[in-house]
Structure 1
Amino acid sequence: MIPSELIPSELEGLRVAVVNWRDPWHPAAGGAETYAWQMARRFARAGARVRFVTARAPGQARHETVDGVRLARMGGLFTVYPLVLAWLLRRRTRFDVVLDCQNGIPFFTPWVLHRRTRVICVVHHVHDRQFDVHLPRWLAVLGCFLEGPASRWTYRRRRSVAVSPSTVAAMRERLGWLGPIDIVPNGVEPSTDGQAARSRTPKLVCVGRLVAHKRVDLLLDAVPELRERWPELTVDIVGRGPEEERLRARLPEGVTMRGYVSEEEKERLISTAWLQVNASQGEGWGLCVLEAAALGVPTVAFDVDGLRDAIRHGETGWLVSEGADLAKGIAAALDELDEFDGAQGASCRRWASRFRWDNSAERLATLALGRPVAPMRVSGWERS
């Protein structure tokens, strides 16, 4: 269990609402859900009275308590927003702090809360470029308005949290964000299990939600070319999502779709891989990159928002220029792995050890208490 002494003792009795699009058990959950839940359970462990308010997937209970956190589930993909606001309006004086987690569109909780309630807007990454990938044009335009001008005005006098320097830059430059922004990064929990041995033959792994902007197609396109040079090369794709059925229909030889797996199985699949590959067009951070690094596995990704913060090029992975040939980038990384002869794994673990959920929760708890936090100074982020 987490050491509660890492969290300021003043959290005892603090009334906190964590408002997030989904919870970790939702079929469409991803890294944003992991982040919100890791914060919520640590706050509860430190004595805060925490409510996690979120959408309800089919079959999920409306109310339950997990790890001391009381969950309230309501609504679906879009209806969760008005329902959560109505829920908070009826309880507008009952919370001291609200963590308003923005997954493209925030909940605009300041509209319904008492003005003395401290609201912290948590932003993982800016979605403006992804709205056109996932939504009809008219809805994408609405999404950009809500994420941009509407959010900028609503949270102008509230503190905001971003998970990476890339997100801070995107908020300032693409959203024109006005209020103060602090960085509270993603983290990992040290694995207590023994790490599985690396595969004797070249093996890649890809972990994440199977959605359009993750661009798993680019990896599938690269596999035949890679197998011409490494005939025994295999790829495990771990995750689920709306793209799963389409991707399964076009799998090249050597690729296995694992779907949803347990955390233990995910760790085994990652730790036996030579490389992780992430072809996403942009992330807030790329939690899967940090999880792989903690297991000593470097990642090849495009040099895009978030991923350029999570990877130290040449040390904990490789960044490929956006638009470049992914197969060539992976091949170059495989060649370099042979030269490093295991040193890369040690670099990955050292990098991952700088990011722990306990430390991130302590930073966020300090902000929740209305106190300033020191700027994040991490070697490798200077160019961000």
Structure 2
Amino acid sequence: MKPHLLFLSWRDIKHPKAGGAEVFTHEMLRRVSDDYEITHFSPAFEGGHDVEYLDGITYIRRGNALSVIPLAFSYYQSHAATIDLVVDQMNTHHFFTPLYVPLAKRALFIHQLTREIWQINVRPPFSYVGEWTETPRLQLYRTGRALTVSQSTADDLLAVGFSKDDVTILPEGLSFTPWNEEDWKPKEVHPTFLYAGRMSAYKGINDALQAFVIVKREYPDARFWVIGKKDEAYITEHLHPIVPEEMRDAITYFGFVSEEEKLERMSRATALLFPSKREGWGLTVSEAAAVGTPTIVYDAPGLRDAVQYGMTGYMAKSQTPGALAAEMRACLRDPEEYEMIQAAGHRFAQTLHWDHTGQAFRNWLQRELIPIALKEDFS
């Protein structure tokens, strides 16, 4: 009989707002599904099936972001005898499993802490509550095992009391094979910078556009591309005010595009801009590197790991649009350095594969589940 894994998360791979964390989870789980029975429990969403079997994983969807917490507790209580391991995936939201799952049968999976993100994305007083309670909420889990995706997050976990021996870093992966250099697209004639992701202040689109305005004054023919869900209200309320009217024609909002078009535009761009305040890793950094384009990031958790502390991408000296603009200029002024970073990023991207992620997770499961089985045999 296969060991049974229960994954608890606030979103799954089919959720309309699924992002890099959900891709990571699905790609990792599907690679061990031949040897493990896997149930993924998360909130329902419009158009989603209550139960769906996908790539060897049973997806169960119940309730909403709040009600799913007691519903998950109820599901565990009903199936506890058949469940060998519960993995509580924390991404702002979590399931408080230390309160009802035995230590030997649970683990935390966390991509990133959310420290300053609360103040950027949530209104007071809820922002203060979220930020102030994050450390004590994490400390509920500190005596157990934890999985994460970067050294930055691992360091954050150690700082709140986790044991180094209990924290495992799983490698990032890519959903496509990095292109050979001869397949890279020719760069745009004009300096062209790309932002790919949600329109959110903490993700960095505001800072990216402010930096572009600075650079465009020096390079009048510069262009800016935005790929991702087009939010007209956000553009009008937050982005237009920081871009002079005469520069707005240089900015193109493509909205959602196919994966093929996204990678093509990534390859044609001078650089990807990803000035987020905090990430688990920053998957688009690796995607861009895989098609021959370096990324400019802030020195922020996760992103510093994705660019290997400035060796495989550009890392701004401070978290300001001015510092970001300085690195954008460096892309344009120093072709020799640009090519070195471009090549280094591509080499690093070639080491990333979901098969490696899956194997690392499989190794962890084999190491962690054997002691549980032995303990149960002698109990």
User: TM-score with structure 1 length normalisation?
Assistant: 0.84
Q: Is structure 2 residue 316 aligned with structure 1 residue 320?
A: yes
**Distance 1:109-1:221 versus aligned 2 partners, 3 A rule:** same
Q: What is the CA-CA distance between 1:310 and the residue it aligns to?
A: 1.0
| Separation in structure 2 between the aligned mates of residue 75 and residue 276 of structure 1, nearest angstrom | 37
The percent identity for this pair of structures is: 28
Say which SS state the counterpart of residue 253 (structure 1) adopts.
helix
RMSD between aligned residues: 2.5
| Separation in structure 2 between the aligned mates of residue 312 and residue 116 of structure 1, nearest angstrom | 34
Aligned position for 2:377: none
Aligned position for 1:216: 205
**Distance 1:176-1:144 versus aligned 2 partners, 3 A rule:** farther
| Separation in structure 2 between the aligned mates of residue 363 and residue 318 of structure 1, nearest angstrom | 28
What are the Cα deviations for residues 132-151 of structure 1, in whole angstroms up to 9, with x where unaligned?
22223332343345532233
Q: What is the CA-CA distance between 1:163 and the residue it aligns to?
A: 1.2
| Separation in structure 1 between the aligned mates of residue 257 and residue 133 of structure 2, nearest angstrom | 35
Correspondence 1:92-171 to 2 at 5 A: 92-113=80-101, 116-117=104-105, 119-144=106-131, 146-153=133-140, 155-171=141-157
Aligned position for 2:219: 230
Choose between structure 1 and 2: higher helix proportion: 2
Q: Which stretch of the first structure deviates more once superposed, 252-261 or 191-200?
A: 191-200
Alpha-carbon contact 1:279-1:301 (below 8 Å) kept? yes
Letter in 2 for 1:205: L
Alpha-carbon contact 1:122-1:160 (below 8 Å) kept? yes
Alpha-carbon contact 1:93-1:114 (below 8 Å) kept? no
Letter in 2 for 1:362: Q
Say which SS state the counterpart of residue 206 (structure 1) adopts.
strand
What are the Cα deviations for residues 246-267 of structure 1, in whole angstroms up to 9, with x where unaligned?
1256162311122222222221
**Distance 1:147-1:279 versus aligned 2 partners, 3 A rule:** same
Aligned position for 2:344: 347
Letter in 2 for 1:308: R
| Separation in structure 2 between the aligned mates of residue 313 and residue 370 of structure 1, nearest angstrom | 31
| Separation in structure 1 between the aligned mates of residue 258 and residue 7 of structure 2, nearest angstrom | 25
| Separation in structure 1 between the aligned mates of residue 258 and residue 86 of structure 2, nearest angstrom | 31
User: Unpaired segments of 5 or more residues in structure 1?
Assistant: 1-11, 373-384
1:84 is aligned, of 44, 66, 72, to 72
| Separation in structure 2 between the aligned mates of residue 190 and residue 105 of structure 1, nearest angstrom | 30
Correspondence 1:194-273 to 2 at 5 A: 195-240=184-229, 245-247=233-235, 250=240, 252-273=248-269
**Distance 1:239-1:76 versus aligned 2 partners, 3 A rule:** farther
| Separation in structure 2 between the aligned mates of residue 319 and residue 231 of structure 1, nearest angstrom | 24
Q: Which stretch of the first structure deviates more once superposed, 129-138 or 278-287?
A: 129-138
| Separation in structure 2 between the aligned mates of residue 283 and residue 248 of structure 1, nearest angstrom | 26
What are the Cα deviations for residues 111-154 of structure 1, in whole angstroms up to 9, with x where unaligned?
3335653x22111111122112222333234334553223313x
| Separation in structure 2 between the aligned mates of residue 142 and residue 341 of structure 1, nearest angstrom | 43
Q: Is structure 2 residue 72 aligned with structure 1 residue 72?
A: no
User: TM-score with structure 2 length normalisation?
Assistant: 0.85
Q: What is the CA-CA distance between 1:304 and the residue it aligns to?
A: 1.4
Q: Which stretch of the first structure deviates more once superposed, 137-146 or 126-135?
A: 137-146
Say which SS state the counterpart of residue 285 (structure 1) adopts.
coil
1:31 is aligned, of 5, 8, 20, to 20
Q: What is the CA-CA distance between 1:82 and the residue it aligns to?
A: 2.5
Say which SS state the counterpart of residue 100 (structure 1) adopts.
strand
Alpha-carbon contact 2:178-2:290 (below 8 Å) kept? no
Q: What is the CA-CA distance between 1:280 and the residue it aligns to?
A: 0.8
Aligned position for 2:47: 59
Q: Which stretch of the first structure deviates more once superposed, 104-113 or 351-360?
A: 104-113
Say which SS state the counterpart of residue 279 (structure 2) adopts.
coil
Letter in 2 for 1:162: T
| Separation in structure 1 between the aligned mates of residue 53 and residue 360 of structure 2, nearest angstrom | 25
Q: What is the CA-CA distance between 1:94 and the residue it aligns to?
A: 2.1
1:49 is aligned, of 37, 55, 73, to 37
Q: What is the CA-CA distance between 1:295 and the residue it aligns to?
A: 1.5
What are the Cα deviations for residues 229-251 of structure 1, in whole angstroms up to 9, with x where unaligned?
3333222212238x663125616
Say which SS state the counterpart of residue 369 (structure 1) adopts.
helix
| Separation in structure 2 between the aligned mates of residue 364 and residue 317 of structure 1, nearest angstrom | 27
Q: What is the CA-CA distance between 1:341 and the residue it aligns to?
A: 6.5
Aligned positions, number:
355
| Separation in structure 1 between the aligned mates of residue 214 and residue 131 of structure 2, nearest angstrom | 38
Correspondence 1:177-192 to 2 at 5 A: 177-178=162-163, 180-191=166-177
User: Unpaired segments of 5 or more residues in structure 2?
Assistant: 370-379
**Distance 1:209-1:84 versus aligned 2 partners, 3 A rule:** farther
Say which SS state the counterpart of residue 155 (structure 2) adopts.
helix
Say which SS state the counterpart of residue 125 (structure 2) adopts.
helix
| Separation in structure 2 between the aligned mates of residue 316 and residue 219 of structure 1, nearest angstrom | 20
Aligned position for 2:375: none
Aligned position for 2:374: none
Alpha-carbon contact 1:312-1:318 (below 8 Å) kept? no
**Distance 1:81-1:320 versus aligned 2 partners, 3 A rule:** same
